[in-house]
Amino acid sequence: MSSGKLYIVGVGPGSHDHMTFRAKEVITQSDTIVGYDTYVGLVEDLIQGKEIHRYAMTQEVERAKQCIELAQSGKIVSLVSSGDPGIYGMAGLIYETLAEAGWDPKTGLEVEVVPGVSALNSCASLIGSPLMTDFAVVSMSDLLVPWEIITKRVEAAAQGDYVIVIYNPSSKKRIHQLQDTRKLLLKYRKPSTPVAIIKGAYRESETIVMTDLENMENHADKLGMISTVIIGNSSTYNFKNLMINPRGYTSKYNLQT
């Protein structure tokens, strides 16, 4: 059995205040750091003197293979990701790669996923209480998932009256996806349905736009790969620029002081 270990670490939205104690601990214990260049930059002050491997955005497979090879050679490796690595992150690709190679979790390379604060948590915390009832999370990226399947999932969430969190809403090459989603949602939801667009949560570039389904397209300049869109359900409402999704307490209790 290799004496190395692979940590798949979620560092949260970017601010060290929102990084878990365990994430900081394993990064400190690691002798090797691997990650997408932007994510490595989020922990720059914690990795001085370590062996660092930086990658471009589209090199996920190479990143996964190198992490595994380094750990199998005896290195203590931290593969860093923003948010949570188990939510649209690198954890899945690492486990898929290991499974294809016949890896045994009990006797093979030791792997630990260190969870982090995902965009759905960090963005929700900035705009009130939008996720108090059932919600669905959908990525608009169709690089790995066919657009027809994404559309089917969005429609199911719309029919089920779920609050919807949208990851990767658009990029330079992907514009129609969110436009199509908006049209689809308007079949089931009022134009006045609250919408929040959060870009760069807890980073210096943070911007927040509170709008509605009818006017969402007017804020296309706030959309991008580090943006998250939260779309309310039939009971969601705005209160002084906050989004509130009632849990149902008012039907059973008197909330007035």
Residue 252 is predicted with a pLDDT of 55
Q: In angstroms, rounded to a whole number, what is the distance separating the alpha carbons of residues 81 and 78?
A: 9
pLDDT attached to residue 257: 58
Residue 224 is predicted with a pLDDT of: 76
Is residue 209 within 8 A of residue 222, CB to CB? The reply is yes
Output DSSP code: residue 233.
-
The catalytically annotated residue of 5, 17, 45, 50 is: 50
Q: Which CATH architecture has domain 120-244?
A: 2-Layer Sandwich (3.30)
Instruction: Please confirm, yes or no, whether 5 is among the known catalytic residues.
Output: no
Instruction: Report the alpha-carbon distance of residue 110 to residue 72 in Å, rounded.
Output: 9
What pLDDT score does 253 carry? Answer: 56
CB atoms within 10 A of CB 47: 18
| pLDDT at position 1 | 45
Asked if domains 5-117 and 120-244 share a fold, the reply is no
- HSE-CB at 65 with a 13 A cutoff on CA atoms is 6
What is the domain partition of the chain in residue ranges?
5-117, 120-244
- The pLDDT value recorded for residue 99 is 97
- Fold annotation for 5-117: Cobalt-precorrin-4 Transmethylase; domain 1 (3.40.1010)
Query: Nearest Cα to 197, choosing from 236, 229, 165, 164?
Result: 229
State the pLDDT at residue 176: 84
Which contiguous run of DSSP H or E holds residue 10? strand 5-10
Give pLDDT < 50 ranges for the chain. 1
Known catalytic residue at 37: yes
Averaged confidence pLDDT in the chain: 92
Q: How far is residue 155's CA from residue 186's CA, in Å, rounded to a whole number? A: 11
Element spanning 96, H or E:
helix 91-100
CA pseudo-torsion sign 58, 147, 171, 113: negative
Nearest to 167 by CA among 183, 190, 188, 145: 145
